[in-house]
Amino acid sequence: MVLPGLSLNLPPSRPGTYLTTFRFIHCSDLHIDSPFRGFSAIHLEWAQRLREATLKSFLNIVDLAVREQVDAVIIAGDVFDGEDKSLPTQFKFRNGLQTLADHAIPVFIAHGNHDPLNSWSTTLAWPEGVTVFPAARVHSVPVEKNGRTLAHIYGTSFPEPDVFDNLALKFERRQEAGFAVGVLHANVGGNPNHDPYAPCAVEDLVARGMDYWALGHIHLREVLRESHPAIVYCGNSQGRHFKESGPRGCCLVTLREDADPEIRFVATDVLRFAEAAVDVSGCATLDAVVGEIVGQCQQLLSQAEGRSLVVRQTLTGRTEAHSLLMKGGTMDGVRDEALRKIPDATAGLWLEFRLHTRGAYDIDALKQGQDFIADLIALYNRQADQAGLLECREALKPLVQAWEGSHLLAEFSDGELREILLQASNLTLDMLVNRD
């Protein structure tokens, strides 16, 4: 299924005697066999569906390559999520490569930090036409069709997980026929949201003489440079948690002689993640809360293009139903009722909830009081600033040091600690404020 998402017209990098076209798929960060974390509880059927999603996404890439009759498939690192690669999954991955080989589509694989060369077993033999780039040097492989050279693919792999050398400096375009495509798993430009593996600058890539850089490692789709050369992160092929929401897939790239190259995003994910806030202010009953949840879920499903959807809804606002929502087991019942009211939701929708609701009392009026409750609200507000968070961490240390759990406290982000404080504030006020 093709999304309008990313479609760029890129001018050619240089004039030359290139052949008419070179069409290939650029994908990366498949993370096959990746565990899905961050769920409070989930049905076994959904757990299995999540587990299989990354492999199915790769098989969608295979189907796309065959359907589009591309000249090559490039995988820019992190085929598998780690060293624990199940043998059945490895066979299925190999079978996907065999399908490409059966259609005379060569595959080029550069391994990254999650699947470095030293973690791979030689038990399975890859089909003919599969190139796994070595780690010691940059290797160049021609792509030929009907006796003519369309392009040369340049690439290198991680020998081990922790690679902090600038691998881009090892690339150099040779005087070879056809387009030049570089394949690299790297953090270009120092993206702070990802580990600094194989760090390099855009200028380093520009100086290597390539026509297109097929990058991996950053899971968000991004075009760093549109031409001379095109430098592209295609993003990962399947979202795995709520920080990887929205469509995920690969890039279908066409390089043309004396014409603008084209990069088209194609979604290959089989399920998607979405987060949204649901304002339940004014909902006096649980039925009203369910109605708000259902309305938003239907909107999200209409945007998912027929895919399964994993949704985390944060309920906000002051509501008379707050005390009921906070009772144990209530949200399980709310989820079941919401799913019952959404046609076909049972097969294609999973719901997670966060409760940020408050009671229907007037918090602003309580702040103005001269009593303990007003002092308590002021204390919670002070604790939420940076100095207050440090104070909280120090106050909590004695509670966890006895069972050697102090490292868990350090792993809480400031945002997570603020959320805990907010929930504590809400619970305390619920117990103190007299509600009729």
Q: What is the mean pLDDT of residues 102-117?
A: 94
Is the domain 2-267 a CATH 3.60.21.10 member?
Answer: yes
Q: Is the pLDDT of residue 114 over 70?
A: yes
State the pLDDT at residue 346: 62
State the pLDDT at residue 415: 79
Q: CA-to-CA distance for 121 and 141, rounded, in angstroms?
A: 23
Q: Among residues 283, 304, 308, 307, which one has the least CA distance to residue 293?
A: 283
Q: What is the mean pLDDT of residues 194-215?
A: 94
Q: What is the mean pLDDT of residues 128-156?
A: 95
Starting at the earlier edge strand, list the strands of the sheet with 148-155. 139-145, 148-155, 179-185, 212-216, 230-233, 222-226
What's the whole-model pTM score? 0.83
State the pLDDT at residue 154: 98
What are the structural domain ranges in the chain? 2-267, 270-360, 364-436
Q: Is the pLDDT of residue 392 over 90?
A: no
Alpha carbon separation from 144 to 21, 141, 177 (Å, rounded): 12, 10, 10
Average of per-residue pLDDT values in the chain = 87
Q: What is the mean pLDDT of residues 331-338?
A: 94
Quick check: 246 and 239 in contact, CB under 8 A?
yes
State the pLDDT at residue 402: 62
338-358 burial, b if ≥16 CB within 10 A, otherwise e?
bbeebeebeebbbbbbbbebb
Q: What is the mean pLDDT of residues 150-158?
A: 97
Beta-carbon-side half-sphere exposure of residue 394 (alpha carbons within 13 Å): 7
Backbone phi and psi for residue 314, each to the nearest 5 degrees, phi listed first: -100, 115
